[in-house]
Structure 1
Amino acid sequence: MTVSRLFIVQLMSALFLAACAGPSGPTREEAEAARAKVMANADAARIAAEEDGRIVIGLAGPMSGDLQKYGLDMRRGAELAVADLNAAGGLLGRRVVLEVEDDKCGTKEAESAATELIQKGAVFVDGHFCSGSSIEGANIYGAADVLQITPSVTNGLVTDIAAQRKVTTMFRVVGRDDMQGIFAADWIAQTYPGQPVAVVSDNSLYGKSIATKLLARLKEKGIRPVIDGEFTQGQTSYSSLVNALKKAQPSVLYVAAYHDDIGRLAWAMRVAKLPTQLVGPDMLSNPEFWSFSQGRGTGVRYSDQAPAVERPEAADVVARLRAEGAEPGNDAINAYAAIQVFAAAAEATKGTDAKAIGDFLRQNPVRTILGELGWDAKGDLKAPNYIWYVWNEGLAVRQ
């Protein structure tokens, strides 16, 4: 998805800035003193909230800038969830208060937003929207014993990095990108039993992670691809791959890459009159795919998250959000569900301790407007809800 590509840009920028940092930065002692002050402020704010009969939760996302519409969608869902909690008597006998911070989908801004939220006494944060900002926030929330649930980030690195850093308070309510590989492998095995299969990726973090999961799942099912390879992103010619496909004659080709490369490859395959079924990941939801395929993309299949607004469990929330005058997106529904998860776990553990809630969520499913959700050790969904779409004359049609 686009947030995955954005993360790479953010990560490289962060590494560049770190490499260029000079001796004028704070000393270790100064940094530790500043961190201690933030944690002291956070503790004081939590105590004050408890004495006032409040539970403070946070929302962090792009409330301004190019991605503002997604942040505002998250905010609508979160505000409704909080209103519903308070209308039902609050949480743990206390009134829930929502604090909102704008991270502009940047890492530095995310650090500031996360710091502000914990100093306001937040015990849970619904966010962030982008991968880099979620990773930055996880470092701060983990150290401050604050639960974090991202309603939007599908990049596998977010929970992978959190696990490597021994952060146990990071979760998500959407599937991670590479789970599409498992979803696709199961479909391929069922749809093309005993037939030749080909798998290629663009060697990007996005593509490679999906291809790795797909190949592992195919291996489990005893399927060995006739082609298992990689290509360079942004190619203008795919003659080598097309020639290899002509020779191997696979019934299905899975391409773990972005929409532009798959579009150009689809065109090359159609020109070469290859009958091979072309399948790819959710980046094919980008309408620009059709342009890159030069109108030859009919029949190309891709996986994507099922629309949250179509879930029957979400019907009432969707109707109320629509009544406000704007069509809710997935981010509004997911942000609402994230607060449901926190509230259910807080009630079950009889408190707001993030580590206790994290332990509970890794062992127990929670019923939400997204259905029943369960998590693995990393905080990833055990059963992400993917569905198929097929391009047909310029339109992506749900299957």
Structure 2
Amino acid sequence: MDNSAKFIGWAAGIAVVAAVIVFMYVGTSTPSETGPITIGFIAPLTGDVASIGSVARTATELAVEEINSAGGIDGRQLNVVYEDGQCSATPANNAATKLINADRVIAIIGGVCSSETAAFAPTAMQNKIVVISECSSAPNLSKTGKYFFRNYPSDAYQGKYAAEHAYNMLGARNAALIFHQTDWGTGIKDVFKQRFTELGGNIVVEDGSPQEARDYRTALSKVKVANPDYIYAPTYPEGGTVLLRQIKEMGINSKILAGDAWSDTRLQKDVASFDLDILYVESKGNVTDEFKSKLLAKTGGDQVPLCAPQVYDATYILAEALKKAGTDPDKLADAMRATKYDGVSGHIEFDANGDMTVAEYIVKRIENGTAAQVQ
């Protein structure tokens, strides 16, 4: 055999091996139709919002334990791969890329922060991965795509409610806006501003800071001069604690109204001695005593944090849709859209954008290290 014949034979052998490898890869590149069904989870397990994200993981684990104990998804166990989105765009998108390409998930629960979800959702949509977020509320997420859902109301509702409550119920006519420049903070601030000014209110200071900011004194110097009735402060908990401390130190007399992130129990305890008038708005839930008991038995805490009931419900909603539709992404999305579910957080239905069809809110006052409803 001459050298050319040897080369041809060698090349043919390589081609056969390559074809086998490609066949094996393609044959395993889609989720198996037997065995466990793997989904992903993205939330801030470290950083500013870890107190919410870590309990969201616990609530998800609780739901999965119950689902699997009851037979899983038509006999198939539900498996979850947990990733830390850090309430930040790049880590969240990296987490989603891993979940989709390496873990071969068919759906993702999360994120908690709108900045997480806004970052990874386009990647998920391109890969036809169903996403259900239990806590991301930025208005700009409403047009994310066919495979996106959230069982927490858009801030198009919360920001409007906060503005109307401030103007109509609290008598505020002048407000300062101190906010985090994130998808959530900027989005809800814009809604509040629009509605508050429509009602006849005036915005006397508007100042945004990065989420990691820990010095608000420049903005607060403007607030002290303007002396508004209220400071509207959609910030995350760690920054919120610093903001409140500096309001106290600077002797600012304005009252404070914040967003739902201030339901964080650590913030409430940290500001117990500040003697400030602090209110915040949060979604009205229907948390059952049974769920509260089960969750607190696992966390060792004394309160159910923001979005824990919602992520528990999100896990069940996804499981029910999987039972009806299987893992085909289009059928799964259709089943999700048809959801009518009464969960521990209330009644859940989705509109054409995957948003909640109903949004109800309450106002709570932070006092003596805890929070109590005032309306």
TM-score (normalised: structure 1): 0.66
Q: Identify if the C-alpha distance between structure 1 residues 262 and 319 changes in structure 2 by more than 3 Å, giving closer, same or farther.
A: closer
Q: Does 1:96 align with 2:77?
A: yes
Q: Identify if the C-alpha distance between structure 1 residues 263 and 209 changes in structure 2 by more than 3 Å, giving closer, same or farther.
A: farther
List gaps (5 residues or longer) in structure 1.
Answer: 1-36, 271-275
**Match in the other structure for 2:121:** 138
Q: Identify if the C-alpha distance between structure 1 residues 230 and 343 changes in structure 2 by more than 3 Å, giving closer, same or farther.
A: same
Which SS does the other structure have where 1:352 is aligned?
coil
1:287-302 equivalent positions in 2, closer than 5 A: 295-297=274-276, 299-302=277-280
Query: Which of 340, 351, 360 does residue 316 from structure 2 map onto?
Result: 340
Give the conservation status (yes or no) of the 8 Å contact 1:61–1:128: yes
Return the alpha-carbon distance in structure 1 between the equivalents of residues 347 and 63 of structure 2.
Answer: 17
Which SS does the other structure have where 1:83 is aligned?
helix
Give the conservation status (yes or no) of the 8 Å contact 1:79–1:98: no
Give the conservation status (yes or no) of the 8 Å contact 1:45–1:120: no
Q: Identify if the C-alpha distance between structure 1 residues 178 and 351 changes in structure 2 by more than 3 Å, giving closer, same or farther.
A: same
Q: Identify if the C-alpha distance between structure 1 residues 261 and 293 changes in structure 2 by more than 3 Å, giving closer, same or farther.
A: farther
1:301-320 equivalent positions in 2, closer than 5 A: 301-305=279-283, 311-312=287-288, 315-320=289-294
Q: CA deviation at 1:131?
A: 4.2
Give the conservation status (yes or no) of the 8 Å contact 1:236–1:264: no
Q: Identify if the C-alpha distance between structure 1 residues 324 and 269 changes in structure 2 by more than 3 Å, giving closer, same or farther.
A: closer
Return the alpha-carbon distance in structure 2 between the equivalents of residues 83 and 397 of structure 1.
Answer: 32
Give the conservation status (yes or no) of the 8 Å contact 1:262–1:289: no
Q: Identify if the C-alpha distance between structure 1 residues 42 and 329 changes in structure 2 by more than 3 Å, giving closer, same or farther.
A: farther
**Match in the other structure for 2:6:** none
Q: Does 1:81 align with 2:63?
A: yes
Return the alpha-carbon distance in structure 1 between the equivalents of residues 55 and 162 of structure 2.
Answer: 30
Q: CA deviation at 1:223?
A: 2.0
**Match in the other structure for 1:14:** none
AA matched with 2:313: A
Q: CA deviation at 1:89?
A: 3.5
Q: Identify if the C-alpha distance between structure 1 residues 210 and 84 changes in structure 2 by more than 3 Å, giving closer, same or farther.
A: same
1:158-197 equivalent positions in 2, closer than 5 A: 159=141, 163=143, 167-177=145-155, 179-188=157-166, 190-191=168-169, 197=173
Give the conservation status (yes or no) of the 8 Å contact 2:178–2:219: no
Return the alpha-carbon distance in structure 1 between the equivalents of residues 138 and 104 of structure 2.
Answer: 28
Q: Identify if the C-alpha distance between structure 1 residues 121 and 230 changes in structure 2 by more than 3 Å, giving closer, same or farther.
A: closer
**Match in the other structure for 1:6:** none
**Match in the other structure for 1:255:** 232
Q: Note the alpha carbon deviations across 1:249-301, whole angstroms, 9 max, x for none.
A: x8x5352454345665576443xxxxx7543334555666898898341x332
Return the alpha-carbon distance in structure 2 between the equivalents of residues 182 and 85 of structure 1.
Answer: 37
**Match in the other structure for 1:202:** 178
Q: How many residues align?
A: 334
Q: Does 1:44 align with 2:28?
A: yes
Q: CA deviation at 1:124?
A: 1.6
Q: Note the alpha carbon deviations across 1:114-154, whole angstroms, 9 max, x for none.
A: 34433444222222344444334323321221111123334
Give the conservation status (yes or no) of the 8 Å contact 1:151–1:338: yes
Q: CA deviation at 1:77?
A: 2.4
Q: Does 1:281 align with 2:259?
A: yes
**Match in the other structure for 2:8:** none
Give the conservation status (yes or no) of the 8 Å contact 2:162–2:192: yes
Q: Note the alpha carbon deviations across 1:328-367, whole angstroms, 9 max, x for none.
A: 644543332111121233445x333334443554565432
Q: CA deviation at 1:231?
A: 4.2
Query: Which of 99, 108, 111 does residue 125 from structure 1 map onto?
Result: 108
Q: Note the alpha carbon deviations across 1:226-250, whole angstroms, 9 max, x for none.
A: 44552465235756555545xxxx8
Give the conservation status (yes or no) of the 8 Å contact 1:54–1:95: yes
Aligned-residue Cα RMSD (Å) equals 4.2
Q: Identify if the C-alpha distance between structure 1 residues 181 and 53 changes in structure 2 by more than 3 Å, giving closer, same or farther.
A: same
Give the conservation status (yes or no) of the 8 Å contact 2:175–2:203: yes
Q: Greater shift after overlay, 79-88 or 319-328?
A: 319-328
Query: Which of 183, 195, 200 does residue 224 from structure 1 map onto?
Result: 200
**Match in the other structure for 2:10:** none
Q: Note the alpha carbon deviations across 1:188-242, whole angstroms, 9 max, x for none.
A: 45426xx6622332365355432332244346xx621144552465235756555
Q: Identify if the C-alpha distance between structure 1 residues 88 and 389 changes in structure 2 by more than 3 Å, giving closer, same or farther.
A: same
Q: CA deviation at 1:397?
A: 3.5
Which SS does the other structure have where 1:202 is aligned?
strand
Return the alpha-carbon distance in structure 2 between the equivalents of residues 320 and 257 of structure 1.
Answer: 30
Give the conservation status (yes or no) of the 8 Å contact 1:67–1:104: no
Which SS does the other structure have where 1:187 is aligned?
helix
Q: Note the alpha carbon deviations across 1:100-127, whole angstroms, 9 max, x for none.
A: 1433526555445434433444222222
Q: Does 1:56 align with 2:56?
A: no
Which SS does the other structure have where 2:311 is aligned?
helix
Return the alpha-carbon distance in structure 1 between the equivalents of residues 89 and 186 of structure 2.
Answer: 24
Q: CA deviation at 1:97?
A: 2.6
Q: CA deviation at 1:53?
A: 5.1
TM-score (normalised: structure 2): 0.69
**Match in the other structure for 2:130:** 147
Give the conservation status (yes or no) of the 8 Å contact 2:176–2:223: no
**Match in the other structure for 1:31:** none
Return the alpha-carbon distance in structure 2 between the equivalents of residues 324 and 283 of structure 1.
Answer: 22
AA matched with 2:232: V
